[in-house]
Chains A and B, each alone.
Chain A
Amino acid sequence: AQSVTQPDIHITVSEGASLELRCNYSYGATPYLFWYVQSPGQGLQLLLKYFSGDTLVQGIKGFEAEFKRSQSSFNLRKPSVHWSDAAEYFCAVGGDSSYKLIFGSGTRLLVRP
């Protein structure tokens, strides 16, 4: 079955600390992977995406993610978190023959001053 697992419901980090949000997927075909961010009261905004090629992808706002096929993971990272990064983060998987995106349940990031 196709699925996305974000094992951490909440994560709290101090401002300036590094961040890693975990994402594991199960997908039968070549996966297209996405990270979206949702600020309170807002829609989802794409941070980055992976289709093929270099497994380390750079996104907006200083985020990056690494695709590890052997681990079925696509973890999101940021070297130094800013207070404005506090939001909910969603990992999603799709495929080249499917219009559907399967979303994880989200990880809520809290940033300590």
Chain B
Amino acid sequence: DAGVIQSPRHEVTEMGQEVTLRCKPISGHNSLFWYRQTMMRGLELLIYFNNNVPIDDSGMPEDRFSAKMPNASFSTLKIQPSEPRDSAVYFCASTLNAAGAYNEQFFGPGTRLTVL
């Protein structure tokens, strides 16, 4: 298995531009997570999808952030407009969330976003 795939690996953009991060979870996994990692705040859960449905988006910082999961093999995290404080590493993770079981989350390599 290729693991969780994220693209791009690096993104440099200017303040005010739209940014779209992409994630392909591991085939067969039914849960997907978007995290943000910064020095100041560590790893923060932004949003959680189960069976393509957003279950918890309480970690999404503000309306500039949106996430979609149109099918089981693809998710996007969009920031519009982007701001310098959005600079961080964004991780996608997936797992098979079966009833009565808690399985490990598999992380992608991350997208390093720099907003100038």
Which residues of A are interface residues toward B (Cβ below 8 A)? Answer: 32, 34, 36, 41-46, 49, 51, 90, 94-96, 99-101, 103-106
Complex partner residue of A51 from B4, B48, B93, B102, CB under 8 angstroms: B102
Q: Does the CB pair B104–A49 fall under 8 Å? A: yes
B17 CB, min distance to chain A CBs, angstroms: 24
Measured CA separation A68–B50 after assembly (Å): 32
- Does B42 make an interface contact (CB < 8 A)? yes
Cross-chain contact A45 with B55 (CB below 8 angstroms) = no
Which of B50, B100, B104 sits near A99, CB closer than 8 Å? B50
Distance in angstroms between the alpha carbons of A39 and B5 in the assembled complex: 17
User: Are B104's CB and A46's CB within 8 A?
Assistant: yes
Contact B91–A99 (Cβ < 8 Å): no
- B contact residues around A41 at 8 Å (CB): 109
Q: Report B78-110 CB contacts with A as 1/0, cut-off 8 Å.
A: 000000000000010100010010101111111
